[in-house]
Structure 1
Amino acid sequence: MKRKCVTLLFIIFVSSVFAQNMNDYQTVDSANALWSESTAWQRWNGFQWVQAVASPTAASAEQVVIRNGAVINIAADLSADQLIIEPLAQLHITAGAFTIANGAGTDLLVNGYLRLRNNTMSLSSGAVAVFASGSTYEHDRSLNAPIISATWEDGSTCLLTGVYTVAELTNLSYACMKQDFYNLTLDYGSFVSDYRAFAANDPIDVRGTLSLLSGNLYVGTGISASNLNVNNLTINGGKFVVSRGYAIPSVTIRNNLTLESGTVVVSELGDAVQRDYTVQAKNVTIESGVFELNAGSSASKSTGQVYISGSLVMNGGTLKNNPGLSTTKAGIFFNGSGDQNVILTGGSLSADPGGVGRLFFYRTSSVTSLSETYGAETEQYTINGLGGASLPSGYSAWPVSGNLIKILNVSNPAGVKLSTAKTIIDNLSLSAGTLGLNGKALNLANEILLSRKGGNLSSSPSFGSSIYLSYLQNPDIIVMGNEVPDTDIVQNLVINTLNGVQMNKDIVVNGSLTFHNGFLDLSGYELSISMLDLSFSGDTSLSNMNLSLSNEAATQGDGLESIERKWLIQGSSSSEVLCSFFWPVELDNGGDFSSGATLWRYNGHAWEVVEEALTVSNNGEIHEISCYLNLGGKADAADEYTITGEGQTLPVVLSAFFAVPTQNAYPLLKWMTQSETGLMGYYVYRSSNSNVTEAKPISSLIDAVNMSHGYTYSYIDKGLEDVGEYYYWLQIVDFSGEDQFFGPAQYSYNPQEPGNPEVPLFNGIDKLYPNPFNPSLNICFCLKNAAPVRMKIYNIKGQLAHEALLGMQQSGNHKYVWDAGAISDTSGIYTIRLEIGSEVYTQKVTMLK
Structure 2
Amino acid sequence: MKKIAFLAIALALMLWAVSSAWASLLTEPAGGGVLAGASNFMPQEKHQLTSDGLQTQRATKTARRDGNWSDPYTWGLFFPSVPGSGDDVIIPSNITVTVDDAYNLDNQAAAGSLTINSGGTLILDCETVLGVLGNTNVSGTLKWCAGSGSHSHSRTIFFALGNFTNSSSGTLDCCASCTDFYFSGTQPQTFSNNGSITNMICCFNLNNGTGLTLAGSNPIPLSRIDLFTGQVTNSSRLHMGSADVDAIVQIGNIEQDSPAGSFDTHPSYHPDALIEILYASGNTDYSTGYEIPEDGIIDFMMVVMLGDKGILYNLTMSRDIIISGTQDQDLWHDELIFIGGRLFFADHALFFNAEDFHIAGGAGVYVDDFQVEVDKLTQYSIPGNVVTYLHTWETYGVQVGGVQMNFHNPTEWYNVMLVDAYVSDDGGNTWVLYQDRVPVLDSVVTLDGVENLGSDTQTRIWAFANRSVPVELSSFTATISADNFVNLMWVTQSETGVLGFYVLRHTQSDLSAAITVSELIPATNSSQQHSYTFKDTEIFEDGLYYYWLQNSDFNGSVQFHGPVSVRISVADNEVPELPLLTQLKPIYPNPFNPMAFIPFSLKEDANVNFEIYNARGELMKRIPLGYKNAGNHRTQWDGRDEQGRNCGTGIYHIRMTAGKESYSRKAVLIK
Q: So what's the TM-score if we normalise by structure 2? A: 0.48
- Greater relative contact order: 1 or 2 (C-alpha under 8 angstroms, separation 6 or more)? 2
